[in-house]
Structure 1
Amino acid sequence: MRRLPFITFEGSEGSGKSTQVQRLAARLERSGVPHLVTREPGGTPIGETIRELLQFASHNSSMTPEAELLLFEASRSQLVREIIKPALERGICVIADRFFDSTTVYQGAARKLDRETVERLNVFAVGDCIPNVTFVLDIDAATAKSRMQKPRRRDRMEQEPEEFYESVREA
């Protein structure tokens, strides 16, 4: 069976990742290519619970960068083993809205955690499940912030100061 690619989209909040994921999925659908779309954190029942905790829990303003890192890795590990690897093994193209590059940038660079530790945990979480291609969407912090002003439930990451997003972009 031919293995289809594992494709990830990365970029800061408001960069258009979800839009591009949807466009690619629609194109694959029209072409009859079997595919699966997932996101991080989330994509599994455990991952969605972690997502809610990371993004919206009332006590998350006191979450340490280390706890945040471990929660992202836990969600990713579950997603890889429960969804991504089995889909790839069945010949399904997987498209992910974020993967380990986000953790390297957000928790490593922007939260200033040790990059080597972050990368080791990334490897531990994903094993040999590495994307075939990653698209990085670049956007300046001011444009990203203006895109995030649309009325909706804003998560914790979307409430970071502009300097945080500049760190993300530089990384």
Structure 2
Amino acid sequence: MSQSGKFIVIEGIEGAGKSSAIAVIERTFAQFNIDYIKTREPGGTPLAESLRSLVKSPDLEETLTPECELFLMYASRSQLIHNVIKPALTLGQWVIGDRHDLSSRAYQGGGRQMDDSVLESLANITLKGFKPDLTLYLDIDPKIGLQRAANRGELDRIEQEKIDFFYRVRDKYLSFANRDESILVIDAGQPMQDVHAQIEHRLRSYLQENR
């Protein structure tokens, strides 16, 4: 297949419903006979998964500094892009990503309040202009999302942050969505069937215009 694939990303805070949203994308792709793979960040390659365990584990023997967390995120992302995502797109496969660079902008830039210029520099080094073709951002009040996450079981290191952290994350997500037409905001506070219907509608419109 000579035509390059597309990179579709799902974003959102904990409890926004990313896993079920990805299932909706998969069903829609199947209806359009789209060949695809799935990835997640941090992770997606053997080395990147090792880095994920460092970022997520609440039981580290030492405190992970914000700078170390940031570098681990971009190191993992670099491995995934170059070893998985770009090769798949070149083969004509589409890629469904559970998080990408927007997560770093929101969590480290917003939540950790790190300087946007620092993230931009790392992104320029790591991504070299590469970005998703379409991002579906699942927007939800952090109080609701975190309660959903807590109901699933034990929270990871980042999920244990204070509520103000997640409101800053949400604000940063919305800030980027407001100025980037490739980021579509989905109201994830609706009943689940309405969220899924909105995702499918937006995705079908995109597929009909870009295939």
Alignment TM-score, normalising by the size of structure 1? 0.94
Structure 1 residues not aligned, in runs of 5+: none
Instruction: Give the match for residue 134 of structure 2.
Output: 133
User: Displacement, 1:60?
Assistant: 6.6
4+ long deviations beyond 3 Å? none
Segment of structure 1 superposing worse, 137-146 or 81-90: 137-146
Distance 1:164 1:60, change over 3 A: farther
**CA contact under 8 A between 1:53 and 1:60: conserved in structure 2?**
no
Aligned to 1:93: 94
Q: In the TM superposition, what are the counterparts of 1:42-61 in structure 2 within 5 Å?
A: 42-56=43-57, 58-59=59-60
Per mean C-alpha deviation after superposition, the further-off stretch among 131-140 and 60-69 is 60-69
Residue type of the alignment partner of 1:122: A
Unaligned runs of 5+ in 2: 173-211
User: 1:27-62, CA deviations, whole angstroms, 9 ceiling, x for partnerless residues?
Assistant: 213432100110000000011101111101622761
1:3 maps to: 4
Measured after TM superposition, the shift of residue 18 of structure 1 is 2.0
Indicate if the aligned counterparts of 2:111 and 2:168 stay in contact, CA closer than 8 A.
yes
Stretch deviating more after TM superposition (71-80 or 5-14): 5-14
For this pair of structures, how many residues does the alignment match?
Answer: 171
Alpha-carbon separation, structure 1, partners of 2:51 and 2:139: 27
SS state of the match for residue 104, structure 2? helix
Considering Cα pairs closer than 8 Å and 6+ residues apart, tell me whether 1 or 2 has the greater RCO: 1
Residues 85-143 of structure 1: per-residue CA shift (max 9 Å, x gap)? 00000000011010001101111121011111111112211224211111111100111
Contact 2:48-2:79 within 8 A present in 1 as well:
yes
Change (3 A) 1:60 1:155: farther
For residues 112 and 122 of structure 2, what CA distance do their matches in structure 1 show?
A: 15
- Give percent identity, aligned residues only: 38
Distance in 2 (CA, whole Å) between partners of 1:58 and 1:155 is: 9
Secondary structure in 1 aligned to 2:150?
A: coil
Matching of residues 135-154 of structure 1 within 5 Å? 135-154=136-155
With 127-136 and 105-114 compared, the bigger mean Cα shift is at: 127-136
Q: TM-score if structure 2 supplies the norm length?
A: 0.77
Corresponding residue SS for 2:96: strand
Distance in structure 2 (CA, Å) of the matches to 1:47 and 1:133: 23
Separation in structure 1 between the aligned mates of residue 49 and residue 159 of structure 2, nearest angstrom: 18
| Structure 1 match to 2:42 | 41
Separation in structure 1 between the aligned mates of residue 75 and residue 58 of structure 2, nearest angstrom = 17
Q: Distance in 2 between matches of 1:68 and 1:61?
A: 12
